[in-house]
Amino acid sequence: MTDLSRRSTVGLGLAAGAAALSSRRARAQTPSEVKIAMLVPLSGPWARQGILEQMGARLAIEDINAAGGIKSMGGARMKLIEYDTQDSSEKAKDAAQRMVAQEPDLVGGFGCWLSSFTLAATEVTERVSLPWLTLSYSDAITGRGFKHVFQSSPTADKQADELLPMIVELAGRARSGWKPTKFAYIGDNTASSVSFMKSIRGPAAAALGLTLVADEVYTPPLSDATTMIQHIRSTKPDFLGFQSTNVPDDKLLVDKFAEFNLKSDKLPKIGGGGHWAVPELLNVAGAENLEGILVALANWPGKRQADLEKRFMAKTGEPWFGHDSIFAYVHVMILKEALERTGVADRVKVSEAIHALDMTDGPALFFPDGTLKYDEKGRRVGAKLCVVQWRKGKPVPVYPPSIATSEVIWPKI
Amino acid sequence: MRYGSAPRLKKDLITLGIVSVAYLAASAFVSNSYYQLIMTLVPIWALFGVSWNILSGYGGQLSFGHASFFGIGAYVVTLALVYWNLTPWFGIPLGMIVAAGAAILIGLPTFRLKGHYFALSMLAYPLAILYFLQYLGFQEMSLPMHRENPAAFLEFTNPHYYTLVGVVLLILGVFVSMLVENSRFGLALLSIRQNELAAEAAGIDTKLWKMRALVVSGMLAAAAGGFYACVLLVVTPDSVFGMLVSAQAVVVTLFGGVASIWGPVIGAAILVPLAESLNAELGNILPGIQGVVYGVAIIAIMLASPDGLFWTIRDKYFIPKPPAPLPRSLAANAPSIAQPAAAGSLLMKVEGLSKTFGGLRAVSGVTFDVRAGEILGIIGPNGAGKTTLFNLLNGVLSANEGTAVLGGQSMLGKKVHAVARMGVGRTFQVVRSFPRLPLLDNVIVGAYGAGFTDTDAIASAAHALERVGLSDQAGTPAGQLTNKQLRLMELARALAGAPRVLLLDETLAGLGRDECDDVLDVLQRLRTEGTTVVIIEHTMHAMMRIADRFVVLDHGRVLASGLPRDVVENRSVIEAYLGKKWAAKQDA
């Protein structure tokens, strides 16, 4: 044992020496380094989402540096500086403050997954003119007149407006022109759900010929869904929407519907938000009960990224490449593209370059709509919802056709 | 101002000036914006600690919910800026006004509670407000950014200015704290903290002073919170009303030193940078470890210095000089009672006074007179109702029946301090002193209670000390006095209010024979000076020496009253004290 450990110690020492040498050589070859920041929850209740972003971002950095870094800057390598928001918006803001103080030569960054954290952190980044990309949904993020914040997702309001027409379109496509007329919703009363439901209950549904026949609201955490599901069943909707906001509630709802023999082959269901397509939900709810559930999200890698997905899964051991990871990947790519165009590590120029982007290739292909252009508010023009469907324990992209690897399945009831 | 406060105030002001200038000079050299932010947070949390210290440090009213006022300050600034575009320069004062109103609303019901119950109820307010704000939809309020004229909206691109504003606010807070500490406000609070009943019996309106302390404290907390919002940029209910916010005020003050001006400042100056740097250095390596290290650091220091760093350091390295004796001239200008009653005239009349506790008639139909200039002894075996009688007379308990009139005014149905104001001085069976305060301050409390001006109060207290022969110990903390001196101190405190009548409850209890004689001499002297005394005692020989008349109580009733000689020969008195057998023996 001792012998072995001595040998391995020597080995470690040699390896370390070699690494030191090779890194010195690497530094000599490449002229400089460009730093970008990632500020996401790496501890606390949202850590899992942050780690998924971290995986995507690290892969992007590797890909860029392996391909020769930033060519317009003589092959400068990109470096990712990681910061943890922890578990509250003050701490997120605090981390942002620390980040801009400790890393004065940052040229851009992205984060912080949760809208509240992003709202707080961008108050800091905006004041130092640091270009900041985010996947967060809240309209408030780009509603404050900030110049250096870029929101790549469709905003929450836009998602709510788009959702019902999209569902009608999906149903029509799957069942050749058939139109649903009755639908039900079940959701919690958190701030984002309340604002989302306001739009769902509005006149848009009527314009599509839809009637909201059951509208169930609960206070999270959900303890029992029986009475709500009984009511929903009695109203016989054509489909059901979930506006839950966490995995435990999702699981309870899915289990309960299965218990009532209302799996998705009897009642089509659509959930909203990234938590409906994470491996954790599969672990607790099981493939059988999830089968057929549709999930509307702001981004998903599709057939265009089949190769990238394979590399991601091989490298990380994750069962699939999802919403959080692809956003981090594309945000690094956008920053790289802006740096290529400016040719200097200047954050204001990088911000201007992101504003000036208008692409349908390169990083644009990591979005379902295949376009990359931000408006004057910093919202991505053309950002659209996409849909994945649970099939045999895996979310499969089914909409829009640009990413779909399979057609949507809508049961005939 | 309190006696001897001028030099202390001067010294503290100089220290404050030097520390502030040094701090600002140091901050000018800090170019890292994150360290600058920490330098801004230090005065904010120090100010919050200073505010908590006024109510809970000096006044001893433990508040676990000071975040109420901090959060009100923060939310008023934020909402006023968002909805009315009101600059925080006005928003902060507005927040202070709102917090003052909130302090009154919170204080009115909560001061009915004492001790742990008070502390726990205070805890509830910020939690309730927190949920209320969430319900109203103010979960996340970001302070809008002003690109034009940012300084007018308390927004600076140069972070040094934030530190400057923070330090100026702290200077104002510390100055208020100095004024409080060195005035009757502070003395009233200190006496309430150390012994609320004694303070009340000395004539201090404890409820009023506590309320004043809460209002001042709430306003300072709101100023800290309002400015914190400007630094925070995004205000959430948790960040300003949360449990940890309330805890911050308690922690920095306990750590630095309770009931001292510098305690919260020292606490914040050490703990805030410690917590932030732990967060920055360890948080990324092992998330959550910073909280553990912080907690352990606090526990270690609290074990080493339970009163807070300030007191430990002061007691170790700055032993206070023994105070100079009081100048003799001080006592000469002592005020006296406006119209002393003529000797022998009726001063106090008690008729049919009764008190029951459930089925027990503790005091039952007690009637007696007190004449000006006499010493009336109230005697009786243990449990006869003597102390209950005093408690009825000075308002600690309310009577079920009967009347008690002092100089034409009823004594019943009044608060303890109001009875004291009528000219009733009281001492307690168990001495109720303010152990940390010097003897003179212990006595001055009584003079303040009578409503004297600062100079009159000091003169009156000095005079009272002279009368009981304790002038030389005027500067000694009460905690270092002997039992006899404590008895005399209590007597002096009662005398300092220039009372019309003194109620002395077992002043001789626990004293040796010689000590007893000394106290009796003092009482004799007081009588010759014309002071009226009602004294409870059960050592008969002592009473025989000084009392002019006796009232004997047994089982709550008056058994006998009259001249001492007549009373001690009364058969029923002998029976009550010594039993029927003894009385029979006497007869035989």
Whole-prediction pTM: 0.83
Say whether the ipTM exceeds 0.90: no
Contact list in A for residue B276 (CB cut-off 8 A) is 94
Q: B232 and A146 in contact by Cβ < 8 A?
A: no
Rounded to 10 degrees, what is the CA torsion of A86, A91, A93, A95? -60
B224 shares its domain with B347: no
B58 shares its domain with B108: yes
Residues whose CB is less than 8 angstroms from the CB of residue B236 and which lie 6 or more positions away in sequence, other chains included: A88, A89, A90, A116, B139, B140, B141
A141 shares its domain with A241: no
Confidence (pLDDT) at A96: 94
Confidence (pLDDT) at A134: 96
Establish if B325 belongs to a structural domain: no
Going by C-alpha positions, the residue among B389, B385, B396, B395 that lies closest to residue B351 is B389
Confidence (pLDDT) at A58: 97
Number of structural domains chain A divides into: 2
Confidence (pLDDT) at B475: 85
- pLDDT classification of A7: cutoffs 50, 70, 90: very low
ω before A400 within 30° of 0 (cis)?
yes
Number of structural domains chain B divides into: 3
**Hey, of B33, B35, B282, which one would you mutate to test binding to chain A, going by the most A CBs within 10 A of its CB?**
B33
Percent of chain B with pLDDT over 70: 96
Among A44, A123, A146, beta carbon nearest to B233 = A123
Question: Angle, nearest 10°, between helix axes B67-84 and B243-256?
Answer: 130
Closest residue in A to B30 (Cα–Cα): A101
Write out residues 230-289 of B within 8 Å (CB-CB) of A: 232-234, 236, 238-239, 276, 279-280, 283-284, 287-288
Establish if A16 belongs to a structural domain: no
* Structural contact between residues B340 and B367, judged by C-beta atoms closer than 8 angstroms: no
Q: A100 and B33 in contact by Cβ < 8 A?
A: yes
Q: Which domain holds residue A94?
A: 29-154+304-366
Q: B238 and A88 in contact by Cβ < 8 A?
A: yes
Establish if A378 belongs to a structural domain: no
A223 shares its domain with A189: yes
For residue B46, pLDDT over 90 is answered with: yes
Q: CA of B174, closest CA in chain A: separation in Å? A: 27
For residue B525, pLDDT over 70 is answered with: yes
For residue A65, pLDDT over 60 is answered with: yes
B152 shares its domain with B208: yes
What are the tens digits of pLDDT across the range A310-355?
A: 999 999 999 999 999 999 999 999 999 999 999 999 999 999 999 9
Establish if B34 belongs to a structural domain: no
Q: A101 and B34 in contact by Cβ < 8 A?
A: yes
B315 shares its domain with B407: no
Confidence (pLDDT) at B340: 66
A390 shares its domain with A249: yes
B170 shares its domain with B96: yes
For residue A256, pLDDT over 90 is answered with: yes
Report d(CA B133, CA A191) in Å as an integer: 12
Establish if A21 belongs to a structural domain: no
Closest residue in A to B137 (Cα–Cα): A191
- pLDDT classification of B336: cutoffs 50, 70, 90: low
B78 shares its domain with B146: yes
Report d(CA A199, CA A154) in Å as an integer: 15
Q: Which structure tokens are listed for B352?
A: 């049919």
Among all chains, which residue has been given the structure tokens 């006592």? B331
B236 shares its domain with B260: no
Q: What is the CATH number of the domain that holds A185?
A: 3.40.50.2300
A78 shares its domain with A207: no
Percent of chain B with pLDDT over 90: 43
B237 shares its domain with B278: no
Q: CA of B141, closest CA in chain A: separation in Å? A: 9
B157 CB within 8 Å of a chain A CB: yes
- pLDDT classification of B506: cutoffs 50, 70, 90: confident
A246 shares its domain with A393: yes
* CA atoms within 13 Å, Cβ hemisphere of B503: 23
Query: Please, which residues bridge with residue A389 across strands?
Result: A294, A396
A198 CB within 8 Å of a chain B CB: no
A262 shares its domain with A393: yes
- pLDDT classification of A252: cutoffs 50, 70, 90: very high
Query: Please, which residues bridge with residue A211 across strands?
Result: A182
Q: CA of B159, closest CA in chain A: separation in Å? A: 11
Establish if A412 belongs to a structural domain: no
Q: B239 and A83 in contact by Cβ < 8 A?
A: no
Q: Which domain holds residue B446?
A: 343-587
A292 shares its domain with A335: no
Establish if B35 belongs to a structural domain: no
- pLDDT classification of B81: cutoffs 50, 70, 90: very high
Q: What is the CATH number of the domain that holds B486?
A: 3.40.50.300
Closest residue in B to A138 (Cα–Cα): B140
Q: Which structure tokens are listed for A7?
A: 């040998």
User: Lowest-pLDDT range, A349-363, B210-224, B235-249?
Assistant: B235-249
Q: B234 and A47 in contact by Cβ < 8 A?
A: no
Establish if B374 belongs to a structural domain: yes
Q: CA of A411, closest CA in chain B: separation in Å? A: 40
* 3-state secondary structure string across B118-171: HHHHHHHHHHHHHHHHHHHCCCCEECCCCCCCHHHHCCCCCCHHHHHHHHHHHH
Establish if A6 belongs to a structural domain: no
A244 shares its domain with A357: no
Q: Bigger pLDDT: B431 or A253?
A: A253
Establish if B156 belongs to a structural domain: yes
The whole-number average pLDDT for the span B518-524 is 90
Confidence (pLDDT) at B335: 73
Query: Please, which residues bridge with residue A388 across strands?
Result: A295, A397
Q: CA of A120, closest CA in chain B: separation in Å? A: 6
Establish if A15 belongs to a structural domain: no
Question: Angle, nearest 10°, between helix axes B67-84 and B206-232?
Answer: 50
For residue B56, pLDDT over 90 is answered with: yes
Establish if A54 belongs to a structural domain: yes
Residues whose CB is less than 8 angstroms from the CB of residue B408 and which lie 6 or more positions away in sequence, other chains included: none
A123 shares its domain with A64: yes
For residue A182, pLDDT over 90 is answered with: yes
Give the CA distances from residue A365 to residues A90, A350, B58, B128, in Å, rounded to whole numbers and listed in that order: 35, 20, 67, 49
Q: Where are the alpha helices (DSSP H) in A30-155?
A: 47-66, 89-102, 115-127
A167 shares its domain with A283: yes
Report d(CA B522, CA B505) in Å as an integer: 16
The whole-number average pLDDT for the span A390-397 is 94
- pLDDT classification of A99: cutoffs 50, 70, 90: very high
Q: Which structure tokens are listed for A32?
A: 């400089």
Strands (E), A228-337: 239-243, 269-272, 294-297
Q: Where are the alpha helices (DSSP H) in B327-450?
A: 329-332, 386-393, 416-421, 439-449
A303 CB within 8 Å of a chain B CB: no
A93 CB within 8 Å of a chain B CB: yes
Closest residue in A to B286 (Cα–Cα): A43
**Hey, of A43, A46, A82, A90, which one would you mutate to test binding to chain B, going by the most B CBs within 10 A of its CB?**
A90
Establish if B36 belongs to a structural domain: no
B93 shares its domain with B232: yes
Among B144, B238, B280, beta carbon nearest to A144 = B144
A119 shares its domain with A230: no
A127 shares its domain with A45: yes
Establish if A410 belongs to a structural domain: no
Average pLDDT, chain B: 88
Contact list in B for residue A116 (CB cut-off 8 A) is 139-140, 234, 236
Q: B145 and A42 in contact by Cβ < 8 A?
A: no
B65 shares its domain with B187: yes
Q: Of B271, B287, B319, which residue is a domain's last?
A: B319
Q: CA of A215, closest CA in chain B: separation in Å? A: 21
